[in-house]
């Protein structure tokens, strides 16, 4: 996506709070679309230095401060609790008309907690890019993770149409293919199935007692694809799992039931039922991959 496609952002200063995999990818993507100035905050000085050397950011800081007043938009790429603490400590430094957004994987009551900290002139539009890759940290970041990705907006009652449109425009300028709007409850329920459950399954698969030194010689596409997300930011994902515990437990039950159905068919050697089960999965997968979104 070229800067000409997102001219609005050529006059903006954007601050990225948290310069890990996602934050670094935002920095590189925003640089590519021609954002005027990019600031970053992260406790990792090495990441900040590398990002500046890469040209991904203009300035880096290890803590908040008065420089935040420069930012028209602040993107929080960190756990919700950490974000809330940062806003509480630094809201007085932020521009009175600042637009805030986030990438938190679980929404819950976060928007309400943030809204209580902001003056009426500021706005917080929750978001969640469905983009990522294995690994963690700035060194794993890349602008391309947004290309063709979905971007979820979780607007609140107090958000203005203009601010929602700005976050949507940013997502599209970064290369996202679809922007979908949902409620916090819908978001957290769906994300338990499409994100939290696959991460839990991948970690369980590689932690199976069947894993041994010979395994690596028998790995092909299916095992590689199925375990890709097991290379995980453990502390972050532990928080995400716990913050959406009830929804995730429900999805684990649903998955366990489906797996038990397959196990029963296999035990009975019920070829017809097993074939139907597999055909249904193949059909649903094809529909999922080729589905056309209209949002």
User: What pLDDT is stored for residue 4 in this prediction?
Assistant: 39
Q: DSSP label at 157? A: T
User: Where does a domain end: 182, 217, 251?
Assistant: 182
* Res 288 pLDDT > 90: no
* Res 104 pLDDT > 80: yes
Q: DSSP label at 98? A: -
Strand 150-153 with 178-181, pairing? parallel
User: Where does a domain end: 162, 182, 202?
Assistant: 182
- CA dihedral of residues 111, 117, 118, 124 (deg, nearest 10): -20
* Res 5 pLDDT > 60: no
Residue 186 burial class via C-beta count within 10 angstroms: exposed 0-12, middle 13-18, buried 19 and up:
middle
**75 forms bridges with which residues in the sheet?**
16, 101
Average pLDDT over residues 266-274: 97
User: Where does a domain end: 139, 166, 182?
Assistant: 182
Average pLDDT over residues 250-279: 98
What is the average pLDDT value for the chain, to the nearest integer? Answer: 93
User: Among residues of the chain, what percentage have pLDDT more than 70?
Assistant: 96
pLDDT band at 91; cut points 50, 70, 90: very high
Q: Helix H segments across the chain?
A: 21-32, 45-54, 80-90, 110-115, 161-174, 184-191, 197-206, 221-227, 234-243, 245-268, 271-290
Does any domain span residue 295?
no
User: What pLDDT is stored for residue 291 in this prediction?
Assistant: 62
Do 242 and 277 sit in the same domain of this protein? yes
The parent domain of residue 141 ranges over 6-182
Does any domain span residue 1?
no
**3-17, 43-57, 120-134, 267-281: which range is least confident on average?**
3-17
> Which domain CATH number covers 157?
3.40.50.720
Q: How far is CA 146 from the centre of its chain?
A: 10
- For 229-267, b/e burial (b = at least 16 CB within 10 A) is bbebeeebbebbbebbeebbeebbeeeeeeeeeeeebee
Give per-residue pLDDT as tens, 157-194.
Answer: 889 999 999 999 999 999 999 999 999 999 999 999 99
Does any domain span residue 275?
yes
Q: Which residue has the higher pLDDT, 201 or 131?
A: 201
Q: How far is CA 161 from CA 72, 100, 113, 175, 205, in A?
A: 17, 14, 21, 21, 44
Overall domain count for the chain = 2
**125 forms bridges with which residues in the sheet?**
101
Lay out the sheet containing 99-102: strands in order across.
59-61, 37-41, 13-17, 73-76, 99-102, 123-125
* Res 243 pLDDT > 80: yes
- Give the SS3 label for residue 76: strand
User: What pLDDT is stored for residue 294 in this prediction?
Assistant: 44
Do 178 and 194 sit in the same domain of this protein? no
Do 232 and 96 sit in the same domain of this protein? no
């Amino acid at each position: 996506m070229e800067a000409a496609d997102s001219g609005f952002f050529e006059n903006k200063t954007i601050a990225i709070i948290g310069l890990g995999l996602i934050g670094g990818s935002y920095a590189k993507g925003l640089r590519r679309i021609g954002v005027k100035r990019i600031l970053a905050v992260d406790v990792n000085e090495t990441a900040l230095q590398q990002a500046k050397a890469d040209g991904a950011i203009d300035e880096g800081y290890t803590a908040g401060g008065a420089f935040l007043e420069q930012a028209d938009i602040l993107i929080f790429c960190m756990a919700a609790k950490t974000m809330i603490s940062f806003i509480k400590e630094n809201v007085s430094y932020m521009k009175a008309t600042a637009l805030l957004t986030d990438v938190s994987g679980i929404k819950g009551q976060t928007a309400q907690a943030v809204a209580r900290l902001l003056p009426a002139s500021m706005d917080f539009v929750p978001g969640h890019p469905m983009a990522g890759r294995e690994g963690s940290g700035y060194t794993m970041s890349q602008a391309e993770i947004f290309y063709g990705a979905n971007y979820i907006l979780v607007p609140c009652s107090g958000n203005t149409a203009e601010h929602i449109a700005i976050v949507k425009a940013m997502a599209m300028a970064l290369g996202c293919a679809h922007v979908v709007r949902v409620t916090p409850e819908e978001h957290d329920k769906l994300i338990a199935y499409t994100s939290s459950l696959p991460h839990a399954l991948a970690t369980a698969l590689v932690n199976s007692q069947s894993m041994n030194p010979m395994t690596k010689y028998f790995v092909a596409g299916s095992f590689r694809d199925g375990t890709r997300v097991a290379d995980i930011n453990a502390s972050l994902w532990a928080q995400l799992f716990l913050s959406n515990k009830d929804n995730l437990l429900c999805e684990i039950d649903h998955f366990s039931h489906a797996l038990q159905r397959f196990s029963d068919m296999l035990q009975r050697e019920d070829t017809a039922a097993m074939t139907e089960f597999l055909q249904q999965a193949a059909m649903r997968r094809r529909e999922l991959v080729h589905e056309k979104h209209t949002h």
